[in-house]
Amino acid sequence: MNVTAGAADQLRKVLITGVSRGLGKALALELAKRGHTVIGCSRSPDLLSSLQSELASASENKSNSNQHLTMNVDVRSNSSVEELARALVEKKAIPDIIVNNAGTINKNNRIWEVPADEFDTVIDTNIKGTANVLRHFIPVMVENKNGIIVNISSGWGRSAAAQVAPYCASKWAVEGLTKAVAKELPAGMSCVALNPGVINTEMLQSCFGSSADLYPMPDSWYSLSLSFPVHAPCVRNASIIFQML
């Protein structure tokens, strides 16, 4: 399935969390290139500033290049996400699609050697952060009777590996959360979990070291999976699990 920048009714407003690097940034730039409006957030103001310029340059539809938004948001904070939702409602920029991409991983360690605060950071970002976005954006999407929510999962949300127990736990939780939320949504909306496969990101490098170089970079990932979020069918009360390898 190919995404093309066609008629206005084919274009979407896409909210991407964790947009300043890795998969989030690669997805944002390619969506902008194909004419979609990107609303990106992360906790890195400097990277967001440069990304704003990159999005404008990448935009296939130059008349739309100034519509992209980048905002400093910490998804771990319920109030920060609440403020983001309020701001987008005021700007009449309610997203058609949400990609819950923000995530982190623990340093390789056995569970009893992972500090409590490090464990909390993984859970707070990967699962609580996703839940915060759902809490504040689903109601406004329901009002529009339209919306697709893509929660980025992992192969380690469907299997397990030593040394990364906190990360595995968080992604298994994302899978369960996604399936449950899908059953709660009205017609016209869907919530799906997406395993993007093994991609050479900073998180993978932290686990695999130099072996991460054996895997594709984020900017080649979109060719495998970008079309999914934009053209995915809205199936009532269904959670579609895609594994993109």
The Cα-based distances of 227 to 3, 160, 175, 212 in angstroms read 5, 28, 21, 25
Q: Is 69 helix (H, G, I), strand (E, B) or coil?
A: strand
Q: Which of 14, 21, 58 is nearest to 38 (CA)?
A: 14
Q: How far apart are CA 184 and CA 75, in angstroms?
A: 22
Q: In whole angstroms, give the CA distance from residue 167 to residue 191.
A: 21
Phi, psi of 199 (to 5 degrees): -125, 145
Reply yes or no on whether 167 is catalytic.
Answer: yes
Of 151, 228, 145, residue with least CA distance to 188: 145
Q: Which of 167, 221, 222, 228 is catalytic?
A: 167
Q: How many CA atoms does the CB half-sphere of 119 hold within 13 Å?
A: 12
Q: How many helices (H) and strands (E) does the chain have?
A: 9, 7
SS3 of the chain: helix, strand, coil, percent, to 5: 50, 15, 35
CA 138 to chain centre: 15
Q: What count of other Cβ atoms lies within 10 Å of the Cβ of residue 218?
A: 20
Catalytic positions are 167
